Structure formats: structure tokens, C-alpha cells
């Protein structure tokens, strides 16, 4: 999971889409019957799908939860806070959903089908009794169990093993560890095809950085311009894997952090600024 700067892209949001969202929200607010509100949401479900290309652009055509490339897939627009009902960890209903966020662009997360459908309406909180149940309630008082890719701090809580499996970061405290483990389960991030792709990224990144180190040492020892060129070529390939537009880039980040070499860790930090 890599940070998605959705809030920084508000200026690129289609104005016509925003105006239509306001109209649809007014309809929902005017309808006091819960079941009828759900029918209205279902009636206009194509509206958030119209924003999928805009959401794709923000994440460089990657799933926001898995970093898997979307390619020819039809992505799904997930409502981070579920729109029709909200369920706790055991599948018990907390409330009738965050219906007032059905057409709120900041509540959308572009997803491959598997994470979106596995997540469904699950949205447990640290304290479910603090859930917002109407537009006037402050959602900022909630502490969601699910990690959110639009929060930088959340994205730092997850790491990966050399086998490509998602795990809590080494320094995770109990609550953060619980959040990561639940997110792995609910977004199905431990899906074997994903693990295999991340494992390949890990192996490739380590191999490239080892090649870079070998050629750089030779260039420093002998003054060889050819060796220096080879080192530079390997470094460019590593930097490309770390870029935000590269699939599974956070697995590459984790692989290089695992080396414990300060120079390589500085390289990761530099790449994060790209």
C-alpha cells in the first residue's frame, strides 16, 4: 500500500461531476426513509464509476490497496466508509452506513475486484460506539481498523517479507499491528498471486542493488569508466522500481530496507521524493 495524494488533486476534479454530486446528495438528505435512500444510491451507482479514470490517474493505473496494475481490468470504485450499512469485525451491523458519503469523492478508493468485494461493508472501529451515523457527526472522531491509502501514516505501518507476504512494520505497536493484520485479511492482501509478484520484485531489487554495489566498487578500485557506467545503469533500474508509478513499489522499498546498509536506505529515501 502506497500513499495516494487524492486530496492534493482536488483542483483536477471535473466540475460537472462535482455539481451532479451535490444534486444527488440533496436528494439523499431530503429522503428520510433509510430503505428509500438505499434505493436512490443504487439508482445512481454509475455516478462514482464516472470518476474511475480520474482515480486511475492519481495512482498511476494501480490498485490503491495492493499496488497491482489495473491494466485491462475494469477497476471498482470502493467506498472506504461503506454507503449502505457498516459492519463490525464479526459481521454485525453497526449502523445504516455513511449514506451521505455515497457521492463524496474523498471517500473513494480505486480497487481491483478482489479487495473491494472482500472488504464489502466491513468497517469496524476501535470504538464502534463513536461511529458517525449522520452528516452532522464528526467522522474525525472515528479510529478505523482498516488502513487507508490516502493517509501517509497508515501506509508506513505495513511491510513485506522476502516471500512477498505483507506484515506489520517492525516497530509496530499493538493497535497498529492489529490494524495491519485486519487490513491484510479484509483486503485479501495475502493473496498468493500478489505474494508471488511481490516476491519477484523483492528478488529483482536485491539482485540489481548487489550488481550496482559490485560494479561501483570495481569502478572505485580501478577507475574504470565502463564499470561506473554499469553501476549507473543498475542504479537507474533500482530507482525505477522504487518510483510511485511502479507496481508493488513498496515491496521494493522493503527489500532494500532489509539490507541494513545506510547508503542503500538513503537511496530509498531519495526515491520516495520522486
Res 125 pLDDT > 70: yes
Is residue 213 scored above 80 in pLDDT?
yes
Q: What is the pLDDT of residues 24-42, one digit of tens each?
A: 999 999 999 999 999 999 9
| Residue 13 falls in which region: left (phi positive, over 0), alpha (psi -120 to 50) or beta | beta
- Give the torsion sign (CA, 244, 250, 252, 258): positive
pLDDT at 188: 97
pTM, rounded to two decimals: 0.93
CB count, 10 Å around CB of 197?
19
What pLDDT is attached to residue 264?
A: 81
Q: Are 64 and 149 in contact (CB under 8 A)?
A: yes
- Residue 71 pLDDT: 78
Task: Place 273 in a pLDDT band, splitting at 50, 70 and 90.
Answer: low
Residue 163: Cβ-neighbour burial (10 angstroms; 0-12, 13-18, 19+): exposed
Predicted local distance difference test score (pLDDT) of residue 274: 60
Mean pLDDT of all residues in 199-212:
96
Q: Report pLDDT for 263.
A: 77
**Per-residue pLDDT tens for 155-174?**
999 999 999 999 999 989 99
Neighbours of 202 (CB within 10 A): 22
pLDDT value at residue 272: 65
C-beta atoms surrounding 107 within 10 Å: 21
Residue 67 gets the label, from left (phi > 0), alpha (psi -120 to 50) or beta, of left
Judged against a pLDDT cut of 80, whether residue 249 lies above it is answered with yes
CA distances from 37 to 31, 34, 84, 148, 155 (A): 6, 5, 9, 26, 34
pLDDT tens digits for 95-113? 999 999 999 999 999 999 9
SS3 273: coil
Q: Provide the pLDDT confidence category of residue 262 given band limits of 50, 70 and 90.
A: confident
Cα dihedral 219, 223, 226, 227, rounded to 10, equals -10
Query: Is there a contact between 81 and 155 (Cβ–Cβ < 8 Å)?
Result: no
Q: Residue 43: CB partners within 8 Å, gap ≥ 6?
A: none
Strands (E), the chain: 76-79, 86-87, 93-95, 108-111, 158-160, 166-168
CA distance 71 to 73: 6
Give the Cα separation of 112 and 135 in Å (integer). 29
Average pLDDT along the chain: 94
Domain boundary assignment for the chain: 7-186, 192-272
Amino acid at each position: 500500500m502506497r500513499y495516494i495524494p487524492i486530496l492534493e488533486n482536488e483542483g483536477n476534479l471535473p466540475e460537472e461531476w462535482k455539481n451532479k454530486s451535490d444534486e444527488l446528495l440533496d436528494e439523499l438528505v431530503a429522503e428520510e426513509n433509510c430503505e428509500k435512500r438505499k434505493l436512490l444510491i443504487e439508482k445512481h451507482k454509475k455516478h462514482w464509476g464516472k470518476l474511475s479514470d480520474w482515480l486511475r490517474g492519481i495512482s498511476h493505473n494501480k490498485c490503491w490497496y495492493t499496488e497491482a496494475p489495473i491494466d485491462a481490468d475494469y477497476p471498482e470504485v470502493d467506498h472506504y466508509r461503506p454507503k449502505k450499512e457498516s459492519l463490525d469485525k464479526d459481521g454485525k451491523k453497526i449502523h445504516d452506513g455513511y449514506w451521505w458519503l455515497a457521492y463524496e469523492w474523498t471517500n473513494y478508493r480505486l480497487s481491483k475486484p478482489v479487495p473491494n468485494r472482500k472488504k464489502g461493508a466491513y468497517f469496524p472501529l476501535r470504538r464502534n460506539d463513536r461511529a458517525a451515523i449522520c452528516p452532522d457527526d464528526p467522522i474525525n472522531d472515528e479510529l478505523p481498523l482498516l488502513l487507508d491509502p490516502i493517509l501517509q501514516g497508515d501506509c508506513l505501518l505495513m511491510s513485506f517479507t522476502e516471500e512477498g507476504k505483507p506484515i506489520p512494520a517492525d516497530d509496530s505497536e499493538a493497535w497498529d499491528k492489529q490494524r495491519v493484520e485486519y487490513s491484510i485479511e479484509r483486503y485479501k492482501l495475502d493473496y498468493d498471486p500478489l505474494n508471488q509478484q511481490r516476491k519477484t520484485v523483492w528478488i529483482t531489487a536485491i539482485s540489481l542493488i548487489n550488481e550496482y554495489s559490485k560494479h561501483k566498487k570495481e569502478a572505485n578500485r580501478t577507475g574504470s569508466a565502463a564499470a561506473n557506467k554499469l553501476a549507473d545503469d543498475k542504479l537507474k533500474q533500482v530507482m525505477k522500481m522504487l518510483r510511485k508509478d511502479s507496481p508493488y513499489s513498496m515491496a521494493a522499498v522493503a527489500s532494500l530496507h532489509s539490507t541494513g546498509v545506510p547508503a542503500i536506505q538513503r537511496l530509498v529515501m531519495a526515491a520516495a521524493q520522486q
